Structure 1
Amino acid sequence: MRLTSLGHAAVLVDTGSERILFDPWLTQRLDRFWEHHPALPDDLVARVLDEGVDYVVFSHHHFDHHHYPSLHRLVDGADVDFDDSPRQSAGVTCIYPAGPVPPQLTASGLGHQAIAWTLRRFGFEHLHPVTPGDTVTLGGATLRTFPSAVSFPEMSVLVHNQDAAVMLCGDSLLHEDTVAAFARDDAPRLDALFVPAHSISPPGVLTERRSVSDPDAARARAIANFDRYVSTLPATVTVPSSFGWRISGDTGRDYDWCNRTIFPFTPVQAMARLDELGRDGLLWGPGQVIDITGGKATLVDGPVAPDGYDFDALYAEVTLDPTTPVPPFDASLDRYGHQSRPAPDLLRDLLDRLVATDYWYRALDNGSGRHVISLYEDDGSESSYLLDLVADRVTRLGDGPARGHLAGGEGWTEIAAATLEAMLHADLLFGSSFGLWASDGVLLSAVFHHPAFYTRHVERELREATTR
């Protein structure tokens, strides 16, 4: 069995009889905020996937594991030449977790994505949903799935055939069913285990832009999660995984402070922990290949050589430094794009899109639904407006930031008009944090985590693909 890293949680598993692609995120940038780290070599995806794939497996529906621009790339074949391969994209079978708990509609990471709808929309014809805990038999290999201890469908997957057994955990949380399965006398053997080195952010840093208050506690939580996986799943070799990104916004604003404040436990630190626990481990990056033969997993020659990365230097760039200052949000600096529409038009559009969101229902329930929002415009001015969700009305209050116009009980939002316009045009995926930086509530999250916002992104990708 041979495994090739495509960065983060994306792995191609070649069993000798089938090629299985896990959690495809195949572009350097995930969105306008996150990117692969280490970076993907320019021709890596084309080189690795030129022979096609038979199966695509998704651990869950979050954007870094179910990345629709990457899905479209697989089908479109612009960089991956399926046409000269006996394996055609129309014949790919997609395997993904479904039920019993539906995806959360307003969770971070675009938690509302509907895997089946997206796959169909991008042209995949053979869909195979599974309930985590199910076993799927392929041509020459078997996939045994295990649930994750989260409130949405997510799974770890054990791939095994007569030669090797590999478990890929994505960034799942260890579930008691998995613990029980590996405590049995007939527990599966594992030649290699890919276990998450979780990027558990210290509380409040990304959501509220607060400085790290207790770095030791944040790191202790991450180590405890890692240790529990390692003690539960006795593999011949353990690979700290699903930690292949960093924040690098393409807005002209420096977000490197994020990389020094949100990652308390890196793969390099996980390797040191494995050594303390007496367990064998290895690190790999995009383009590196692990060969599993005779129960032994080793790095072998591939698109990137076994010694192709200096992991100490790479992960030093994303190691927690509690002394790093967290800058306050500034709408005039934390911005994207250019404004082409008047502020009242943008706010009218925002108000319309709030209708039928959770935020809208709660506002109508409590009878208030009043929110003060200020827009920092391209001409340097800043004006505040009252959004009245009950009366469905936008009223200008005057110049200056929103917090200077609060009468009592209203929430506030302060954002650049250009950024709001980009969001409304389905052109910006900043996740939940950006919306919370700009506000004291979830008004923006209610709109930009709504399923309608996601479907607009998908349709936009399809439209733009026809012009490329």
Structure 2
Amino acid sequence: MRLTSLGHAAVLVETGTERILFDPWLTQRLDRFWEHHPPLPDDLVRTVLDEGVDYVVLSHHHFDHHHFPSLARLVDGADVDFDDSPRRSAGVTCIYPAGPVPPRLTASGLGHQAIAWTLRRLGFERLHPVTPGDTVTLGGARLRTYPSAVPFPEMSVLVETADAAVMLCGDALLHEETVAAFGRDDAPRPDAVLIPAHSVSPPGVLTERRPVTDPDAVRGRALATFDRYVRAIPAALTIPSSFGWRVSGDGAPDYSWCNRTMFPLTPTQALRRLGELGRDGLVWGPGQVIEIADGKAAPADGPVAPAAYDFDEVYAEVTLDPDTPVPPFDPTVDRWGSQTRAGEELLRDLLDRVVATDYWYRALDDGAGRHVISLYEDGEGETSFLLDPVTDRVTRLGPGPARRHLTGGESWTETAASTLQALLDGDLLFGSSFALWASNGLLLSAVFHHPSFYTRHVERTLREADTP
């Protein structure tokens, strides 16, 4: 078995009879806010995927694992093998988690339904949804799936062949069923396991611009999460994974401070922890290869040499430093786009779009949901408004940021009118909007995770793919 990293959680697994691509994010930039780190080497994707793939496995629906611009490169008409003979989507089987969890419109995009809708819209014809816990038999391999402890379908996958086994956990939070499965006497013993190294992040750094107040506790929670995974799955080789990105804002301002305030456990720190636990581990990067044979997993020659990266240097840039200052949110600088519509018109549009979201239903149930929002408008400064989804009213409160106008019980948001317009107009993917607003509430999440916005962005990707 041969494994090739394509950065972050994207891995090509070659079993000898199948080529299985996991969680493809195949572009250097994910969006305006995130990019691969270490960066993808030039021509890596072309080199690794030139022979095409037989299966695409998606662990869950979040954008860095279910990246529809990358999926669009794998379908009929896309330059999949990067020469004059593009492969057809009809030849690729997509395997992904589904049900029995109902839709949650305030989760990312369409929730897990985003996967099936996106794949069909992009032109994939062979879809194989699975309930985590199911087993899928391929030609020469078996995929055992395991659930994640999250309120939406997500799975870890164990790939087994006659002579090798590798477990890819993506971002999955360790589930008790997974712990029990690997605790049985007849449990599989993977030759290698890829475990997430950053499942726990400090709260409020981006959304409320709050500095990390208890770094030891934050690190401790992340380490405990990692330790529990390591002890639950006794693999011969453990690889800290799903950590191959950094914040790199597309244009001004500089958001590099985020990289020193958001990640409590890096792969190199996790590797040192493996040594303390007496477990064999390694860190790998884009283009590096691991081969599994005779019960042993080890680095091998590939597009990028085994010793090509200085991982201490790579991950020093994204190591938690509680002394890093977190700048206050400034809507005159932290903004996107241009404003052509009046602020109150934008807020009326926003309030109309709250209707029928989870946020709206909860507000009707308990009479709450009142939200103070401030908009910075060019030439007019910052003005605060009260939004009430129950009475369907927008009330002007006065000048200044939202937090200045709270009277008790309301949640709040501060942003620029131009940013809000970009989101409403579909010019900015909500997942790309981090650091362009500050909030302690879920109003924006409820609106901009609605399917109507998700589908607009997929359609835009399709249009751009069809443009010469």
User: Please, what TM-score do these two structures have when normalized by structure 2?
Assistant: 0.92
Aligned positions of 1:32-111 closer than 5 A: 32-75=32-75, 78-81=78-81, 88-102=88-102, 104-107=104-107, 111=111
How far, CA to CA, are the matches of 2:104 and 2:124 in structure 1? 24
Does structure 1 retain, via aligned residues, the 8 Å contact 2:50–2:82? yes
Question: What is the match of residue 287 of structure 1?
Answer: 287
Answer whether contact 1:9 1:65 (CA < 8 A) is retained: yes
Alpha-carbon RMSD across the aligned residues, in angstroms, is 2.5
Partner of 1:242: 242
> Equivalents in 2 of 1:103, 1:313: separation in Å?
42
CA deviations on 1:273-296 (whole Å, 9 max, x unpaired) are 111112111111111111112222
Q: Hey, what's the Cα distance between the residues in 1 that align with 2:354 and 2:109?
A: 20
Instruction: Give structure 1 stretches of 5+ with no counterpart.
Output: none
Q: Which residue number in structure 1 is paired with residue 271 of structure 2?
A: 271
Q: Can you list the C-alpha shifts for 1:5-62, whole angstroms capped at 9, x where unaligned? A: 1111100001111100001111112222111111112321121111111000011111
* CA gap 1:217/1:372 in 2 versus in 1, 3 angstroms: closer
Structure 1 contact 401–414 (Cα < 8 Å) conserved: yes
Deviation at 1:401, TM superposition (A): 3.5
- Could you say which residue in structure 1 is the equivalent of 2:178? 178
Rounded Cα–Cα distance in structure 2 between residues aligned with 1:226 and 1:40 = 26
Give 1:374 shift: 2.7
Q: Which is worse superposed, 73-82 or 417-426?
A: 73-82
User: 2: distance between equivalents of 1:221 and 1:292?
Assistant: 32
Question: What is the CA–CA distance in structure 1 between the aligned matches of 2:31 and 2:158, rounded to whole Å?
Answer: 30
Amino acid at match of 2:266: T
Counterpart in 2 of 1:191? Answer: 191
CA–CA distance in structure 1, aligned partners of residues 18 and 200 of structure 2: 34
Report the alpha carbon displacement of residue 426 of structure 1 after superposing the two structures with TM: 1.8
SS at match of 1:149: coil
1:397 Cα shift? 4.9
Distance 1:109 1:456 in 2: 11
Give the C-alpha shift of residue 77 in structure 1: 5.4
Q: In the aligned structure 2, how far is the partner of 1:257 from the partner of 1:88?
A: 43
- Cα distance 1:197–1:400, how it changes in 2: closer, same or farther (>3 A)? closer
The equivalent of 2:220 in structure 1 is 220
How far has the Cα of 1:307 moved from its partner?
1.4
Show CA shifts across 1:70-120 (max 9, x none).
111211554422776696322110001112223543236885652111111
Amino acid corresponding to residue 338 of structure 2 in structure 1: H
Q: Distance in 1 between matches of 2:48 and 2:210?
A: 41
Partner in structure 2 of residue 124 of structure 1:
124
Tell me the residue number matched to 2:23: 23
Q: Deviations over 1:409-454 (max 9, x none)?
A: 6544321111111111222234398489533422212211222221
Alignment match, 2:330: 330
Secondary structure of the corresponding residue to residue 74 of structure 1? coil
Contact residue 36 and residue 246 of structure 1 kept, 8 A: yes
Please tell me the residue identity of whatever aligns with 2:260. R
Say if 2:13 is the partner of 1:13: yes
Letter aligned with residue 324 of structure 1: T
Counterparts of 1:369 and 1:292, CA distance in 2 = 54
Secondary structure of 1:4's match?
A: strand
Aligned pair 1:314/2:301, yes or no?
no
Q: How many matched pairs?
A: 468
Distance in 2, Cα, partners of 1:217 & 1:236: 30
- Do 2:18 and 2:140's aligned partners in 1 also have CA atoms closer than 8 Å? yes
Aligned partners of 2:388, 2:176: CA distance in 1, in Å? Answer: 47
Cα offset, 1:359, TM superposition: 2.5
Q: Does the CA-based 8 Å contact 2:331-2:436 persist in structure 1?
A: no
Between the aligned partners of 1:230 and 1:447, the Cα distance in structure 2 is 38
Partner of 2:252: 252
Aligned residue number for residue 457 of structure 1: 457
User: Would the aligned equivalents of 2:190 and 2:236 in 1 still touch at CA under 8 Å?
Assistant: yes
1:246, 1:6 → 2: CA distance? 15
